[in-house]
């Protein structure tokens, strides 16, 4: 049948099972929005800013495992998506961003709101398309979804000229073919060598990253851990892949990892890295990272092998499939003495919560106590680390956070995406006051959509993590990090249609959070904490991870 390009776009979205699109209209994309108006089966969430749309698509994707979709018009509309696309790219999140450009005859002429968005996004997407021929539109959109899903997931951009959205072509519906995991890169010898390494190890440690979540590997990972009989640590992106309430789970590894994980990995004789990329925040000093251990890396992307650290053996493939194959071949291991040693570390170096006063650790622990099944979203900074340290993630896709790019302003948009996708779950965004400022306009979106998400602002009136570094490493030169300017977040929230409370004590927070849980509208808690609260433990930049220190260590060293 003959359809316009705009009609083809909508039909292709329906083919792919898309039920929600986040976006913001404009002149170049008007034809598409006019067609979208006729299809209420696709929910459109109008955000306050295009960046909010890209983060919402990301949050939708992270919380569901589906491809998130966002749309924007040409020029600044398209460029406003860039930060969200880069955020998704760094964390391997499947989104498809659809933008429209000026007509083909106007390309390359500095036309009004013309921009080469495909060129701009090439380094931060798996693929960027520009469609100038309506006959190629349907297949391009189908390819975009396939690429976004396939192998290591990631964002894809499709830019479509305005005349293509109006021109007609023959459209034939096609059922999408979901990509199947590719297992061709490893063989029986790879599995055999891995088994030999595991069986030879006396002190194995399992290190889990976001790849285990993306592959849906939680169940086979649990079996693998039980058969290996080893302690488990994770990355920020790996939270929830392995049950954080398990006895042999020791917390995060790296710069703000637990002392147990950092010391344990530094002592192990085999580190089994599952879906991790060995980022600089994990390695500390790469020359001294796990020097006494052999490293076995399991990852779907061959580019990640030997990129940041040299490993002894690798298996390239879908994590869930590889672990399943290893489980079939691995005999039950026993490491009682090693596990007991790690358990002693856990007793020696517990994560503590200040007993007096309102603090980030107290609030996260209380949120866990009152809302264990919530989807937690964070911005970036101290509050992000506290959310990783003090909330026990027992299921995958329950912590949504910008790990690779570290995007301030990510959380509220992502929370909107997650709450839209999961209406029956409680979504909570943890923000610092610096991050909240960046995209707080999206509160209006949450109010308009009647989303009962909770926004907790850990308000210390400074850029907390930067101030922490300035305190520790820059002689307390607080350059451009003080935010004590009288902004009233409660009034801002109420003006945007949300309920809000300001709290200064533990008792006030408990009451406000209970009220927020019962609210049917967005609810903001402005929680005032001390400007000099710090995230502990910490590893200094460039130091080996076994040199982690906490507040007491710091005070003793600087007496």
- Between CA 195 and CA 453 the distance in angstroms is 45
- Give a yes or no: residue 553 inside a domain: no
Claim to verify: residue 222 and residue 344 sit in the same structural domain = yes
- List the chain pLDDT tens, one digit each, 559 residues: 999 999 999 999 999 999 999 999 999 999 999 999 999 999 999 999 999 999 999 999 999 999 999 999 999 999 999 999 999 999 999 999 999 999 999 999 999 999 999 999 999 999 999 999 999 999 999 999 999 999 999 999 999 999 999 999 999 999 998 888 888 899 999 999 999 999 999 999 999 999 999 999 999 999 999 999 999 999 999 999 999 999 999 999 999 999 999 999 999 999 999 999 999 999 999 999 999 999 999 999 999 999 999 999 999 999 999 999 999 999 999 999 999 999 999 999 999 999 999 999 999 999 999 999 999 999 999 999 999 999 999 999 999 999 999 999 999 999 999 999 999 999 999 999 999 999 999 999 999 999 999 999 999 999 999 999 999 999 999 999 999 888 999 999 999 999 999 999 999 999 999 999 999 999 999 999 999 999 999 999 999 999 999 988 888 877 6
Query: How big is the chain, counted in residues?
Result: 559
Claim to verify: residue 375 and residue 436 sit in the same structural domain = yes
Claim to verify: residue 164 and residue 216 sit in the same structural domain = no
Claim to verify: residue 312 and residue 197 sit in the same structural domain = yes
- Between CA 176 and CA 16 the distance in angstroms is 6
- Give a yes or no: residue 221 inside a domain: yes
- Give a yes or no: residue 549 inside a domain: no
Claim to verify: residue 277 and residue 380 sit in the same structural domain = no
Claim to verify: residue 28 and residue 155 sit in the same structural domain = yes
End-to-end Cα spacing for the chain? 79
Backbone φ and ψ of 284, nearest 5°? 65, -115
Q: Which residue has the tokens 């850029």?
A: 463
Half-sphere exposure of 356 (CA within 13 A, CB side): 0
pLDDT for the residue numbered 163: 97
Per the CB < 8 A criterion, the answer to whether 429 and 455 are in contact is yes
CA 21 to chain centre: 19
* 52, 161, 262, 360 from 259: Cα distances, Å: 36, 54, 5, 19
Claim to verify: residue 443 and residue 334 sit in the same structural domain = no
Q: Which residue has the tokens 């989104």?
A: 95
CA 552 to chain centre: 31
Using DSSP, how many helices (H) and how many strands (E) does the chain show?
24, 20
- Between CA 432 and CA 154 the distance in angstroms is 27
Coil, helix or strand at residue 537: coil
* 280, 472, 484, 535 from 360: Cα distances, Å: 25, 19, 18, 9
Coil, helix or strand at residue 36: helix
- Give a yes or no: residue 154 inside a domain: yes
Per the CB < 8 A criterion, the answer to whether 453 and 420 are in contact is no
Per the CB < 8 A criterion, the answer to whether 416 and 446 are in contact is yes
Angle at 534 between CA 556 and CA 549, to 5 degrees: 40
Q: With the C-alpha atoms ordered 38, 41, 46, 50, is the resulting torsion angle positive or negative? A: negative
Per the CB < 8 A criterion, the answer to whether 522 and 453 are in contact is yes
- Give a yes or no: residue 548 inside a domain: no
Q: What is the crossing angle of helices 336-348 and 259-267, to 10°? A: 150
CA 48 to chain centre: 21
Token pair of 85 as six digits: 């696309």
- Between CA 322 and CA 319 the distance in angstroms is 5
Claim to verify: residue 264 and residue 333 sit in the same structural domain = yes
Claim to verify: residue 114 and residue 194 sit in the same structural domain = no
Strand-pairing partners, residue 473, are none
Coil, helix or strand at residue 367: helix
Coil, helix or strand at residue 62: helix
Angle at 267 between CA 264 and CA 271, to 5 degrees: 80
Backbone φ and ψ of 217, nearest 5°? -95, 10
pLDDT for the residue numbered 558: 76
CATH number at residue 506: 3.40.50.970
- Give a yes or no: residue 83 inside a domain: yes
Other residues' Cβ atoms within 10 Å of the Cβ of residue 245: 9
- Between CA 22 and CA 29 the distance in angstroms is 14
Coil, helix or strand at residue 400: strand
Angle at 485 between CA 482 and CA 487, to 5 degrees: 120
Claim to verify: residue 403 and residue 496 sit in the same structural domain = yes
Claim to verify: residue 450 and residue 311 sit in the same structural domain = no
- Between CA 480 and CA 229 the distance in angstroms is 49
- Give a yes or no: residue 409 inside a domain: yes
Q: Which residues are catalytic?
A: 50, 112-113, 162, 465
CATH number at residue 250: 3.40.50.1220
Three-state DSSP string of 199-245: HHCCCEEEEECHHHHHCCCHHHHHHHHHHHCCCEEECCCCECCECCC
Token pair of 445 as six digits: 């979106």
Per the CB < 8 A criterion, the answer to whether 85 and 96 are in contact is no
- Between CA 153 and CA 504 the distance in angstroms is 42
Claim to verify: residue 344 and residue 369 sit in the same structural domain = no
Task: Give the domain-ending residue among 138, 170, 202.
Answer: 170
Domain tally, the chain: 3
Task: Give the domain-ending residue among 303, 319, 348.
Answer: 348
Closest CA to 319 of 339, 335, 301: 301
Domain span at 39: 2-170
- Give a yes or no: residue 559 inside a domain: no
């Amino acid at each position: 049948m003959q359809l316009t390009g705009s009609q083809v776009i909508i039909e292709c979205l329906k083919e792919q099972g898309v039920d929600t699109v986040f976006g913001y209209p404009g002149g170049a994309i008007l034809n598409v929005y006019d067609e979208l108006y006729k299809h209420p089966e696709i929910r459109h969430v109008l955000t306050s800013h295009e960046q909010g749309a890209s983060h919402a698509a990301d949050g939708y994707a992270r919380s569901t495992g589906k491809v998130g979709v966002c749309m924007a018009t040409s020029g600044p509309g398209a460029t406003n998506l860039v930060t969200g696309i880069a955020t998704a790219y760094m964390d391997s999140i499947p989104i498809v961003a659809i933008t429209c450009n000026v007509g083909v005859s106007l390309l390359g002429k500095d036309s009004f709101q013309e921009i080469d968005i495909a060129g701009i996004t090439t380094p931060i997407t798996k693929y960027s398309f520009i469609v100038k021929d309506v006959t190629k539109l349907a297949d391009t959109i189908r390819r975009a979804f396939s690429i976004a899903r396939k192998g290591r997931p990631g964002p894809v951009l499709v830019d479509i000229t305005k005349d293509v959205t109006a021109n007609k072509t023959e459209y034939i519906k096609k059922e999408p073919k979901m990509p199947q995991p590719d297992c061709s890169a490893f063989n029986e010898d790879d599995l055999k060598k891995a088994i030999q390494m595991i069986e030879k190890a006396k002190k194995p440690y399992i290190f889990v990253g976001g790849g285990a979540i993306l592959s849906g590997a939680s169940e086979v990972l649990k079996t693998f851990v039980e058969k290996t009989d080893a302690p488990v640590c994770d990355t920020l992106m790996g939270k929830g892949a392995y049950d954080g309430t398990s006895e042999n789970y020791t917390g995060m590894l790296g710069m703000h990892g637990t002392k147990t994980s950092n010391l344990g990995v530094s002592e192990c004789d085999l580190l089994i890295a599952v879906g991790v990329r060995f980022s600089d925040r994990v390695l500390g000093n790469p020359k001294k990272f796990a020097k006494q251990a052999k490293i076995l890396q399991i990852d779907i992307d061959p580019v990640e092998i030997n990129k940041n650290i040299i490993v002894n053996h690798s298996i390239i493939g879908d994590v869930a499939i590889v672990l399943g194959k290893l489980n079939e071949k691995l005999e039950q291991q026993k490491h009682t003495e090693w596990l007991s040693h790690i358990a002693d570390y856990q007793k020696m170096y517990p994560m503590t919560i200040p007993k007096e006063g309102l603090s980030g650790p107290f609030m996260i622990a209380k949120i866990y106590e009152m809302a264990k099944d919530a989807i937690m979203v964070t911005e970036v900074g101290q509050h992000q680390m506290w959310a990783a340290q003090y909330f026990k993630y027992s299921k995958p896709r329950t912590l949504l956070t910008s790990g690779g790019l570290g995007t301030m302003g990510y959380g509220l948009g992502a929370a909107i995406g997650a709450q839209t996708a999961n209406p029956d779950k409680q979504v909570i965004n943890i923000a610092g006051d610096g991050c909240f400022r960046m995209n707080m306009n999206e509160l209006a979106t949450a109010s308009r959509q009647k989303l009962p998400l909770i926004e907790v602002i850990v308000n210390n009136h400074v850029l907390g993590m930067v101030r922490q570094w300035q305190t520790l490493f820059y002689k307390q030169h607080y350059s451009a990090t003080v935010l004590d300017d009288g902004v009233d977040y409660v009034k801002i929230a109420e003006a945007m249609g949300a309920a809000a409370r300001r709290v200064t004590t533990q008792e006030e927070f408990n009451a406000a959070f209970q009220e927020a849980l019962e609210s049917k509208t967005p609810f903001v808690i402005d929680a005032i904490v001390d400007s000099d609260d710090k995230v502990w433990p910490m590893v200094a930049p460039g130091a080996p991870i076994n040199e982690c220190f906490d507040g007491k260590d710091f005070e003793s060293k600087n007496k």
